[in-house]
Structure 1
Amino acid sequence: MAGTRRAARRGRGEGGISFREDKELWVARISLGFDGGGKRIRKTVYGETKNEVAEKLRKLQADHDAGRLVDAEEITVKEYLTRWLGNTAKETVGDGTWERYRQLVHKYLIPILGGLKLHKVRPLHVEQAYADMKQGNGDRKPAGADARKSAGVVLSIALKHAVRNGLIPANPAAEVKKARPARREMAFMTPGQAKRFLVAAERNQNFALFSLALGSGARQGELLGLVWSDFDFDRGTMSISRALSQVKGEFKLKEPKSQAGRRTVTLAPSVLAALREHRAAALKGGRIAAPVFCTRTGQYLDKKNVLRAFKTIVKNSNGAEEERAGESNSEPDLIPARLRFHDLRHTHASGLIAAGGSIKAVSRRLGHADVSITLRVYAHLMPDDDEKLATLAGTLFG
């Protein structure tokens, strides 16, 4: 006989188990109270055995008590992304990355997809969202390829998490093609340009910072987070174990992205000389307990101010080079104006690789988690030794 053997009525947050003879399944229900319209909200799960359903019910009740239970039928993309940003993403990525996620979510994803129910999002919606980003709408300017790709990556990560949590059966963004930004040509200085850059930087109070950046290939955050105990002047080394993060004007020291980020780098005599002079100035100015590279009051350096100084040095160096070229009636060898501070790292790596440095040793020096990263970024700069290899093969096997 078809029907349902019902359990006694339970209170809010409690569950009931019954058997559906028409479906030949056990069913568990949990009451979540009422929505804004006064309608009771219930959650239902099924199972082949009573014990299976009882276990599911216990998990539902535990999630409800902990405030983790989400009504997948009602939650919108806006509600989900807001919750994902504030909980999951906040705990799994660094401050700078999280801020970028937040900007992309609120600038592009929520305005376009936010009103949709999460469980109703399909690949077609995602594809149309990417098209809308490219076109722009009203006050929202068209998004470039970099922004569209980044927004797509964030959306895919967030929806993958929704799949893991059982809110949706599959990730609708997984198979949708993302924008493909044009490949940017890497910018860096030649050894000659780098030497002229350092000459122009000698009068800057943070000359040692620029010298160390070129001489070590360390990231800007790693350099700005250094303290004097990170240097061993007797051995001529620098130890890297932290990086300075700056988000919305707030400074925070963080751990390296990978174990490879913790490393000791040997420095050239010219770099050590610049550091010794910088240390003497810090000692004289009462800043020896402050970060190695700091303001006159011992505070962390603002990245914007560092970039401003960097651009000024590049401009001065190019000005001197144009003057020299004019006097000698020759073509000036100018530093690319679009260079960023980070390109001092590229200059360091590209110079070593072009000179025949071991790619594995360069990778370790840069703190890359895997040598494949170094190969992917700098492979086009590696010298073509095919003729040398042919000669070597002839010697060995000819």
Structure 2
Amino acid sequence: MAVTKLENGRWEASYRDPSGRERVKRHRTRAEADRWLTTVKGQIHRGDYVDPRLGRTLFSRWAQEWLDGSAHLKPKTRADYEGLLRVHVMPTFADRAVAAITPGDVRRFISDKVGSGSAPGTVRGARKVLRLVLAVAQAEGAIRSNPCDGVRVPPSPKAEMVFLDAEQVEALAQTIDPRYSTMIRVAAYTGMRAGEIEALRVGRTDLEVGRLTIAESVTEVQGHGLVFGQPKTYERRSVTLPPFLTEELRSHFGGRDLDPQAFVFTSPEGGVIHHKNFYNRSFKPAVRAAGLPERTRFHDLRHSCAALCIALGAHPKAIQERLGHSSITVTLDRYGHLFPKLDEALTGRLDELHREAVSSFRPGPISDGASQDLRRGPSASRGLSADLGV
């Protein structure tokens, strides 16, 4: 670092940034130059130095760099992000120097979007994309902190789940176009997502053991058509079939020797099901004809599977594996309100445990080895262990 007096009486301060590039700035006085260098030296020492040249780079350039590095995203996710960036974020920030964007700018952006009537989910998505782009600039040293951090957005209302019982599932299956009846039952009794069912191939059905392997999903992406990829959690999984579904799939195949790559369920033309067409032309009319709640979605069959399993006393871990959740926490967060009041049941059993211990107690000297057997009934500990799933 150095300070040099110029012929015109001004002072030039220079330093080398962490990359070794020389930086120079002119000041009116020596004191200004010294203060500036002291500030820069402190930033470099603390590790929060920002490159002023990069900070002057327009947001649009960082947006393009972020897009170039997002090849890992699923096609639909990438398309959704691109749409949010193009329609909502770029009109406001494209021509702004990235270092000039402040938390106040982000708050005004969110407020304007809410005020213009944008849905909460859209506002939340736009803020997420803005934050992701600015995170690239932050990682490259163009900004010290992300101005989106700490800026709150309106919560997105959660879609109300519809839980169908077995009779309602059957009503829907028998009302819809017969080619989709088995598909409805598979959704309700396996918990598979729509894209997983529509991408299910014959070679991934093992009717001898009653098992389906879920290794692929299909989704419709605007501008790209139907796109096949891995399931939502990026992991293969398998689900077992109730015997009635195994027999129904055998009937669905009709005893034919099918190509393992053929799809189990197809459109009327024999191709891959376009979910939007199926939903509007077949599913929703069948929902109305079966007398089900108008808001019932195909995804509610997945929720219904969880509810049916819980009603049968299934362990949350088993439900997690069947539905393909990334963790048991997701399962409990989503469906925890459907589980029995386990704490109440535990409290009752603790009371029973105490009463059995009192009734089985025998006064007199007790050896260390026999103390537990004499002081509490043998059935109590076994019963409690069973209740806790041990």
Question: What TM-score, normalized by structure 2, do the two folds share?
Answer: 0.75
Q: How does 1:265-344 map to 2 (within 5 A)?
A: 265-280=239-254, 283=256, 289-308=261-280, 309-318=282-291, 335-344=292-301
Gaps of 5+ in 2: 6-10, 24-39, 45-50, 356-390
**Partner deviation per Cα, 1:274-299 (whole Å, 9 max, x = no partner):** 21122118x49x77752111234442
Q: How many residues align?
A: 321
What secondary structure, in the 3-state scheme, does the structure 2 residue paired with 1:300 have? coil
Partner residue of 1:81? 63
* Amino acid in the other structure paired with 2:215: S
Q: Which amino acid aligns with 1:84?
A: W
Q: Which residue of 1 aligns with 2:156?
A: 181
1:337 aligned partner, one-letter code: E
Q: Give the whole-Å Cα distance in 2 for the aligned partners of 1:218 and 1:74.
A: 49
Tell me by how many angstroms 1:129 deviates.
0.2
Provide, for residues 331-365 of structure 1, a one-character-per-residue CA deviation record: whole Å limited to 9, x for no partner: xxxx2211111111111112212332111110011
The equivalent position to 1:162 in structure 2, one of 137, 141, 150, is 137
Percent identical: 26
Contact kept in structure 2, 1:118 and 1:168, CA below 8 Å = yes
Name the counterpart of 2:106.
126
In the TM superposition, structure 1's runs of 4+ consecutive aligned residues that sit over 4 Å from their partners are: 1-4, 20-27, 286-289
Whether 1:379 aligns to 2:351 is: no
**Which residue in 2 is equivalent to 1:355?**
312
Instruction: Give me the CA root mean square deviation.
Output: 2.9
Q: Using the alignment, how far apart are the partners of 1:198 and 1:269 within structure 2?
A: 17
In structure 1, the residue corresponding to 2:179 is in which secondary structure? coil
Question: Bigger CA drift: 92-101 or 348-357?
Answer: 348-357
Give, as a single letter, the amino acid of the residue that structure 1 aligns with 2:225. Answer: E
In structure 2, do the counterparts of structure 1 residues 167 and 241 end up closer, same or farther at CA, with 3 Å as the change threshold? same
SS in 2 for 1:92: coil
Asked if 2 retains the 8 angstrom alpha-carbon contact of 1:256 and 1:262, the reply is yes
Q: 1:151 offset after TM fit, Å? A: 1.3
1:391 and 2:366 equivalent?
Answer: no
1:28 aligns with 2:9: no
- Which amino acid is the alignment partner of residue 125 of structure 1? D
Match of 2:388 in 1: none
Look at both structures and tell me which one has the larger radius of gyration over its CA atoms: 2
Instruction: Tell me the distance in 1 between the aligned counterparts of 2:156 and 2:173.
Output: 33
Q: TM-score, normalised by structure 1?
A: 0.73
Counterpart secondary structure, 1:206: helix
State the distance in 1 between where 2:251 and 2:52 align.
Answer: 60
CA gap 1:237/1:301 in 2 versus in 1, 3 angstroms: same
1:181-260 map, 5 Å: 181-201=156-176, 203-248=177-222, 250-258=225-233
Q: Cα deviation per residue 1:189-238 (whole Å; 9 max; x = unaligned)?
A: 1333222222223x421222111111100111111111111111110111
- Alpha-carbon distance change, 298 to 114 in structure 1, aligned in 2, over 3 angstroms: same
What residue identity is the alignment partner of 2:285?
Answer: T
Residue of structure 1 equivalent to 2:73:
93
